Chain A
Amino acid sequence: MSPEPLLNVEGLVKRFGGFRALDGVSFHLNPGEVLGLVGPNGSGKTTCINVICGLYTPDGGSISYDGRSIGGEKSHRLVKAGINRTFQSPRPFLSLTVRENVEVAAHYGDPKPGFDVDALLALLELDRFAQRPAAELNSAQQKTLDLARAMATEPRLLLVDELAAGLNPAELSRMADRLRVLADGGMALLVVEHLMGFIDKVTDRVVVMAAGKEFFGGTLADATKDPEVIRVFLGGGHHG
């Protein structure tokens, strides 16, 4: 018997004026599972994350997390409930130190009592920058800090938005390993990514989106053989 999904998205709709950025998207995510959300630019992947994490209010459909409806709930409440995210372009608090960036999340994000900020910094190899302003970190380090901020709230569901973009192969591999470790610990991850190698290494299955709709769900291997997926990604007339 399959476990109860941690996240269940049904017919999600998000409109910006007359434009339907999400047009009835549905998928589910189980604890400890890594789901890849892939698709061309503008297909609605990041919008989907923004709606799930409460930055946008959905215009239709439903989102249930841990058995309760969360559509339109405030972000900071969702963080306390166990949902967090990373950003495509990292958004650290530039005037705070690296440690303070994580400390804010660890204090307000309601992790378990005794959560060790410094152990997390050491785990993610940010300890040597702990007292430096976040503004002094390079892009890859800021992405790691973004991940640390999210992890400091001890999420059960982590939404990962193009974490791999701009990383070199060594950093990519390290980041993929980190995400797999999180999933092995029971965290559910929704990973938006363009790098298929990264998706292949990290995810258990993928949902392919185009024009605000999901039209494929399954393994990445099956997706790469699906004529409709190929047509969407290559823009040609490859019909089955």
Chain B
Amino acid sequence: MPDVAATIRADARNRLIKRVVLDTSIAAAVVIGMGVMRGVYSNELMLFNFVVFLALAQGLNIIYGFTGYLPFGYVGFYGAGAYGFSLVVMHLHAPALVGMAAAAAAALVLAVILLPLLRLSGAYFAIASMAAAQAVYEIIANPGLEDITKGPYGVSLSDVFAPAFSYYTALAILGATLLLVVWLRNSRFGMSLQAIRDDSVSAAMSGVSVVRGRTIAWLLSALVAGLVGGVFAWHISVFYPDTAFDLSVSIFSTVFLLFGGATTLCGPLLGVFILYGIYNVIGIAVPQYFQFTYGALIVLLVLFLPNGLVSLLTNRGIRVP
């Protein structure tokens, strides 16, 4: 019996090491690749948007892939981060990195305020989170708050405009987010989150604090969106509340995540590279074909691959990083 146990243990340890090495290598390749691209491709804004969606799709992966909560209002944290950054820079003339800390804090505060939403589930949670994001937008865009938020007229942060620094900061956030997902996929905490997602009652009967697990995942997911929102504000420097709270940010992130496959590291990456790639190839030049192609892809996906592209492999018993 001890020999059998030792064999299983050694096998499990070897598999874990291989998984961590592979997952980390993929994360590093993506970050380095996007860093190198900036030097060889001139459309920096497009590359920046790729980085933004790569990070947002993974941030959404943390809450949806690991706990099953799908917040349609995910953009609320992104917008809170953008305005957290902007308010500190505009009013306190703080340096950009202090603004990034404020972006993170703003998203976390909003996440704490919205914690009661985790009592809901399924469509109720999705819609309630969307309503919450819209409520934050309405407050920010209120003309009566022009002195504080600039209301609907938008903010200008030309003092801190630094395209290269902000791009590499966005890459650092992407790298940290990818490592966070690697950790969740290979740690006992991540395992407990997947247990909660699979069956919260059984998870509780395994000693897992369901409320604590969901809360941590929610905060981590919000933190990612807040940081991405902050770096968006920094990189773009001039934007309006409609841009920072644009629901299409949520929708794109969600579609990219689901298209590739949640819970995995590669699924959301594939979703962003393929769908946002298509968007940039045909979406801008011939938007009518883009709409059709996008719609058809999503319909086909829902019909034939509801668990995303990665399920082409996982359905055959192949583990996808």
A residues contacting B by CB (< 8 A) are 53-55, 74-76, 79-80, 84-85, 87, 91-96, 99-101, 103-105, 107-110, 116-119, 121-123, 127, 130-131, 149-150, 152-153
Q: Given A108-B206, A131-B12 in contact, is the A96-B199 Cβ separation under 8 Å?
A: no
Inside 8 A of B205's CB, which chain A residues have their CB? 53, 75-76, 79, 84-85, 149-150
Report whether B195 and A104 are in contact in the complex, using a CB–CB cutoff of 8 Å.
yes
Q: Given A94-B198, A103-B191, A104-B192 in contact, is the A130-B207 Cβ separation under 8 Å?
A: no
B5 to chain A, nearest CB (A): 4
Closest to B204 in A: A75
Q: Interface of chain B, helix or strand or loop or mixed? A: helix
User: B9 near A: Cβ within 8 Å?
Assistant: yes
Closest to A80 in B: B207
Alpha-carbon distance between A131 and B38 when the two chains are bound, in angstroms: 42
25 A-B pairs with CB atoms under 8 Å apart are: A76-B205, A76-B210, A79-B205, A84-B205, A92-B198, A93-B202, A95-B194, A95-B198, A95-B263, A96-B198, A99-B12, A100-B191, A101-B195, A104-B192, A104-B195, A107-B191, A107-B192, A107-B207, A108-B192, A108-B208, A119-B2, A122-B4, A131-B15, A152-B206, A153-B206
A56 to chain B, nearest CB (A): 11
Report whether A122 and B201 are in contact in the complex, using a CB–CB cutoff of 8 Å.
no
Size category, B interface = 20 to 34
User: B243 near A: Cβ within 8 Å?
Assistant: no
Inside 8 A of B202's CB, which chain A residues have their CB? 87, 91-93, 149
Alpha-carbon distance between A131 and B16 when the two chains are bound, in angstroms: 11
User: B203 near A: Cβ within 8 Å?
Assistant: yes
Q: Which listed residue, B15, B191, B201, B209, touches A91 by the CB 8 Å rule?
A: B201
Alpha-carbon distance between A54 and B5 when the two chains are bound, in angstroms: 33
Report whether B201 and A99 are in contact in the complex, using a CB–CB cutoff of 8 Å.
no
Q: Which listed residue, A116, A119, A149, touches B206 by the CB 8 Å rule?
A: A149
Report whether A121 and B5 are in contact in the complex, using a CB–CB cutoff of 8 Å.
yes
Which of A76, A101, A127, A150 has the most C-beta atoms of chain B within 10 angstroms of its own C-beta?
A: A76
Closest to A90 in B: B202
Inside 8 A of A75's CB, which chain B residues have their CB? 201, 204-205
Alpha-carbon distance between A191 and B4 when the two chains are bound, in angstroms: 31
The 7 A-B residue pairs with the shortest CB-CB distance in the complex, in nearest-first order: A109-B207, A118-B5, A108-B207, A105-B206, A75-B204, A93-B198, A118-B8
Alpha-carbon distance between A117 and B7 when the two chains are bound, in angstroms: 12
Alpha-carbon distance between A161 and B29 when the two chains are bound, in angstroms: 50
Report whether A105 and B207 are in contact in the complex, using a CB–CB cutoff of 8 Å.
yes
Inside 8 A of A110's CB, which chain B residues have their CB? 207
Inside 8 A of A123's CB, which chain B residues have their CB? 1
B112 to chain A, nearest CB (A): 21
Report whether A79 and B4 are in contact in the complex, using a CB–CB cutoff of 8 Å.
no
Inside 8 A of B263's CB, which chain A residues have their CB? 95
Which of A79, A101, A122 has the most C-beta atoms of chain B within 10 angstroms of its own C-beta?
A: A122
Inside 8 A of A107's CB, which chain B residues have their CB? 188, 191-192, 207
Which of B202, B205, B209 has the most C-beta atoms of chain A within 10 angstroms of its own C-beta?
A: B205
**Chain B positions 1-31 with a Cβ under 8 Å from a chain A Cβ:** 1-2, 4-9, 11-12, 15
13 further interface pairs, Cβ-Cβ under 8 Å (given A116-B5, A118-B8): A74-B204, A76-B207, A79-B204, A104-B195, A107-B191, A108-B208, A110-B207, A119-B5, A130-B12, A149-B202, A149-B205, A150-B205, A152-B206
Alpha-carbon distance between A118 and B3 when the two chains are bound, in angstroms: 10
Inside 8 A of A119's CB, which chain B residues have their CB? 1-2, 5
Report whether B199 and A91 are in contact in the complex, using a CB–CB cutoff of 8 Å.
yes
Q: Given A79-B205, A79-B207 in contact, is the A122-B198 Cβ separation under 8 Å?
A: no
Alpha-carbon distance between A152 and B8 when the two chains are bound, in angstroms: 16
A8 to chain B, nearest CB (A): 22
Closest to B199 in A: A91
Closest to A86 in B: B205
Inside 8 A of B192's CB, which chain A residues have their CB? 104, 107-108
Which of B9, B201, B202 has the most C-beta atoms of chain A within 10 angstroms of its own C-beta?
A: B202
Alpha-carbon distance between A76 and B207 when the two chains are bound, in angstroms: 4
B208 to chain A, nearest CB (A): 5
B62 to chain A, nearest CB (A): 16
Inside 8 A of B8's CB, which chain A residues have their CB? 99, 118, 121-122, 127, 130
